[in-house]
A and B are shown apart, each in its own frame.
Chain A
Amino acid sequence: MLDFITTPLTYGFMQRGLLAALLVGVICAVIGCYIVLRSMAFLGDAMAHAILPGVAVAYMVNGNLLAGGLVASIAVALGIGFFSRGGAIKEDTAIGIIFSAALSLGVALISSMQSYASDLTHIMFGNLLGVSSGDLVLTAVLGIVILLAIFLLYKEFMVVSFDPVLASTLHYPVNLLQNLMLVLIAVTIVISLQTVGVGLVTALLITPAATAQLLTRRLPAMMMVSAACGAFSAVAGLYLSYYVNIASGSAIVLICTLLFILAFLFSPRRGLVIRFFRKS
């Protein structure tokens, strides 16, 4: 039994992969609570896809992938604001247009490279087993910054998310806080790139948080449970991918989804099963 757990860890790349997945699983799950509570799932997905051209350009010029991704996601957030301002088109329409345009631009740029197929696969679906020690350190440092910001600005972020009108009467800098939140989400997405890729990061942001919302009554508890779900999915998913020999990113997301379905069915207060028995 112990062998079952320790055998994969005899490989250095598995150790680094496991740590990276744990870090990303927890960070995504915590900040994902705000994405779920503010109904920003579509915006999160759009930002994930939108970083593709930034990453591609950075890759082509041998620049910093993180910086490229960040610039692209901030440009997209501003672009969405620009097109939906004044009410000419709705915000979700603006998101849809810009995110597919950014995705296409990213694919176009990457398709001009020679190693097109494998690069695109890595960016879209992650390359967990290719995590270097440098990547790991960068992920850890940025992850700590993100979690620290969420901890220190707990009451500000909570009020801005729950009741922006109150935040405004309390004279909070509402726009600044909302933009800071977008930047934190963008950084989270960029550091998740290597683990689960652009295509699957939304699942890590949304699914553990949605699971936790079914199980908890207060925001701190929701963040804890969400983080636990994210961490468990990361570890269990990685072992699943090792033993069943499937892609690690998709294994992690599938475990996440399984936890959500269990919570949806069996949550003590809101579960489908409980509600069914209460009715009959």
Chain B
Amino acid sequence: MMHTRKSDCSEATDDARIELSRVGVSYNGQPALDDITVTIEHGAQVAVVGPNGAGKSTLFKALVGLLPLRQGQILIHGRPLGSHNNCVAYIPQREEIDWRFPVTVNDVVMMSRYGRLGWLRRPGARDMKAIAAALDQLGIANLADISIGELSGGQQQRVFLARALAQEPHILLMDEPFTGVDVSTQETILDVLTQLRQRSVTVLVATHDLNMAATRFEKTLLLNHRLIAYGHSEEVFTSETIRQAFGAQVFEVGANLVIDQCCGGHNQQAIQPLDIKTRT
């Protein structure tokens, strides 16, 4: 059934795995990602970790087809990017959104359904139901008619997570969702991740919180323009890989590694001690 719109993601029955082979991407004329080859398994939950400017956001933008590949290939469901609809939901960093835009929470979440509606079509009962369920799941049903400019940071993050859920994606990309949100929102996000694991949704979360990556994610992808390591979180974090990724930002304090993520980034903890056991 090929028409002007690509086939819907729900028609794809094979695994939602992501395969990158020798992927290189430039951003603003500068090479941001180089020679990345990795396969992320169906249903995996992956923390994407690396220093500022390591190419985490660039990787996500390449995965949704926003940035052209300089070289290499990305396959989703074993097929090239852009050959199906709605497979990938992307939650941008909050500062990329214009919060003065005249839309309500309900309007924003409804946008997730637009991909399923053809041209000239208005949302129907099924779409309303999907939205109500997503708002409920994130505990923001009472905010449906509030304009987005009046939300707190945590509420803003919940709205965009609700929108991603209502999109019913096979793959979910979240860019720094834990930055600048309250503790209860952090827990809500982690709860939603647990539910997504049961539904075998493949999730990639960019974060600079190494402890969160080590303790709450089964897999970690360590990135610094090149792929440093990918695998089970406890195996990925060794003092060697951390040094490769963070370089001069790493300090040894007794038996612990400390990473100085201050300066050059935005709202980060100045010094981040690593609780995880590091092997030498």
Contacts and interface: CB of A to CB of B under 8 A. Distances in A.
A274 to B, nearest CB: 15
Nearest to A162: B101
Given A159-B111, A165-B90, A165-B92, A170 B102 contact: no
A169 B64 CA distance: 6
Contacts of B5: 171
A218 interface: yes
Contacts of A165: 61, 64, 66, 90, 92, 96
A222 B101 CA distance: 10
The listed residue with most B CB atoms (<10 A of its CB), out of A159, A162, A221, is A162
Contact-residue bracket for chain B: 20 to 34
A171 B101 contact: no
A156 interface: yes
A133 interface: no
Given A87-B29, A169-B64, A170-B85, A37 B98 contact: yes
Nearest to B163: A166
Contacts of B97: 162-163
A171 B103 contact: no
B102 A163 contact: no
B82 interface: yes
B107 interface: yes
Given A163-B97, A165-B90, A219 B85 contact: no
Contact of B114 (A87, A159, A161, A217): A159
Interface of chain B, main secondary structure: loop
Contact-residue bracket for chain A: 20 to 34
B98 to A, nearest CB: 7
A168 B28 CA distance: 19
A202 interface: no
Interface in A113-155: 152-153, 155
B115 interface: yes
B62 to A, nearest CB: 12
Contacts of A221: 102
Nearest to B107: A218
A37 B66 CA distance: 22
Contacts of B89: 169
Nearest to A217: B147
Given A87-B28, A217-B147, A162 B100 contact: no
B66 A218 contact: no
B88 interface: yes
15 contacts: A37-B98, A37-B102, A152-B120, A156-B114, A158-B111, A162-B98, A162-B101, A162-B103, A165-B66, A169-B65, A217-B104, A218-B102, A218-B103, A218-B107, A219-B102
Interface of B: 5-6, 28-29, 61, 64-66, 82, 85-86, 88-90, 92, 96-98, 100-104, 107-108, 111-112, 114-115, 117, 119-120, 147, 163
Given A153-B119, A213-B102, A217-B102, 5 more contacts: A37-B101, A155-B114, A158-B111, A170-B85, A217-B104
6 nearest A-B residue pairs (beta carbon): A170-B115, A217-B147, A169-B64, A222-B102, A162-B101, A219-B102
